[in-house]
Structure 1
Amino acid sequence: MSRIGAAVHVVTTDGPGGRIAATVSAVCPVTDTPPTILLCVHRDARLNAGIRKNRVLCLNTLPASAQHVSDAFAGRKGFSMDERFATASWLTLATGAPVMEGARVALDCEVTEILESGTHSVIFGHVVATSLGNAEGALIYLDRDYHKL
C-alpha cells in the first residue's frame, strides 16, 4: 500500500465524544450528488471512537507547507491532543468539527454510514459545508515519505 501515493489530510471531529483529530491518507470521493466522501480509520484509533460518538467530521486537505501539522497529528511529536491543535489555527462551519485555516480544502461532513473491513472502519460522510484555501501545492505521502507537488 505504501506505493500508492495519496494526499495528506487531518480529519477532525468534535462533540460529545471530544475534540479529536488524526492524520489520514486513506480518503476517497464517492459521489458529487449528494457530495459524499469515505475515509478508512483503524478500529482501535481514538479518532474512530470520536467520530462514532460525534457523528461529524471534517476532512482538511493539507498544503505542502503543513508537513509539521501532519507530523503532529500522526503522533510523531508525542504531543497531547491540545498541543496538536496548537500547530494550526482552527474555525468551524456547519457541524462544529474543527476546520483548519489554510487547508487546501476542508469538507465538513455528517457521518451517514460506517462499514467494517478488516482492521478498519470505512466511514462515509455527507459534505454539508466546504472551505476553499489557496491553490498552494499539495502534501503527498508515497513510499513512506512526504512529497510536495
Structure 2
Amino acid sequence: MTDALHTPAAVTLTSFRDAMARLGAAVHVVTSDGPGGRAGFTATAVCSVTDSPPTLIVCLNRNASAYPAVVANGVLCVNTLAGGQAGISNTFGGKTPMAERFAAGTWSTLETGAPVLEGAIAHFDCQITERTAVGTHDVLLCQVVAIHSDTAAPGLLYLDRAYHALHGG
C-alpha cells in the first residue's frame, strides 16, 4: 500500500522552507559591537548546547549585512524578544540600515560590550569561541559570559511565518 506518508517527496528549497515554517521558534535579536562596528540581526536559529560551560549555537548567513561586524567583534548578545517586540524583530530582520535598527530600542551592555535590548525577556552575552561553515551560514559556538532574564514577560514565537505572543499559564 502506498500513501502520502510512505511516498518520499523530493527535498527542494521550497519544501524544506515550508516544513521548517511549521517549527515554532523563539525570536531573538542578536547584536554585536567592537572593532568591526555595531551590528545586529533577527534570528530564530539559536539553540542551547550545554550548561557546562554555558554555550549557545547561533546561525548567521554569511551574506547578512551584520556578518562582517559580528565576526570581527568576536562577541554577541542574544536578546530573546518579548511578546510585544515583533516590530523590533522586523526592523532587525529587514533591509533597514544598521544605525536605524538601533534607533528602534533602548540599549545597554553587560560584560562583552554587545548591545543589550531593554524589554527583552532574556539576554545571553557571549564570546564567539568557534565558527563552522555549513552551506550559506556560519554556525557560531558562543560561550555565555553574562546573563540576565525577566521571567515575568511573555515570549515571542515565530510559527507558520507569523509572530505569536506566548502567555504563561
Q: TM-score, normalised by structure 1?
A: 0.95
- Residue 47 of structure 1 aligns with which residue? 66
Bigger share in strand: 1
Amino acid at match of 2:81: L
- Residue 67 of structure 1 aligns with which residue? 86
Alpha-carbon distance in structure 1 between the residues aligned to 2:85 and 2:34: 25
- Residue 146 of structure 1 aligns with which residue? 163
Alpha-carbon distance in structure 2 between the residues aligned to 1:57 and 1:95: 8
Q: Does 1:118 align with 2:135?
A: yes
Alpha-carbon distance in structure 1 between the residues aligned to 2:128 and 2:63: 18
**C-alpha deviations, 1:11-70, integer Å up to 9, x for none?**
000011110001110010000000000011111112222111000000000000111110
Amino acid at match of 2:135: G
- Residue 4 of structure 1 aligns with which residue? 23
Alpha-carbon distance in structure 2 between the residues aligned to 1:139 and 1:83: 22
Structure 2, unaligned stretches of length 5 or more? 1-19
Alpha-carbon distance in structure 1 between the residues aligned to 2:63 and 2:101: 19
Alpha-carbon distance in structure 1 between the residues aligned to 2:35 and 2:126: 16
Q: Percent identity?
A: 51
**C-alpha deviations, 1:74-124, integer Å up to 9, x for none?**
11xx53222211111000011000001111000000000000111111001
Corresponding residue to 1:36 among 29, 45, 55: 55
Q: Which structure has the bigger radius of gyration?
A: 2
- Residue 154 of structure 2 aligns with which residue? 137
Q: Once superposed, which parts of structure 1, at least 4 consecutive aligned residues long, lie more than 6 Å away?
A: none
Q: CA deviation at 1:148?
A: 1.2
Higher relative contact order (CA 8 A, sep 6+): 1
Q: TM-score, normalised by structure 2?
A: 0.84
The answer on whether the counterparts of 1:102 and 1:134 sit within 8 Å (CA) in structure 2 is no
Corresponding residue to 2:103 among 64, 69, 86: 86
Alpha-carbon distance in structure 1 between the residues aligned to 2:97 and 2:61: 19
Structure 1, 113-122 or 78-87: larger mean CA deviation:
78-87
Alpha-carbon distance in structure 2 between the residues aligned to 1:71 and 1:44: 18
**C-alpha deviations, 1:113-141, integer Å up to 9, x for none?**
00011111100100000121242111111
Q: How many correspondences in the alignment?
A: 147
The answer on whether the counterparts of 1:64 and 1:148 sit within 8 Å (CA) in structure 2 is yes
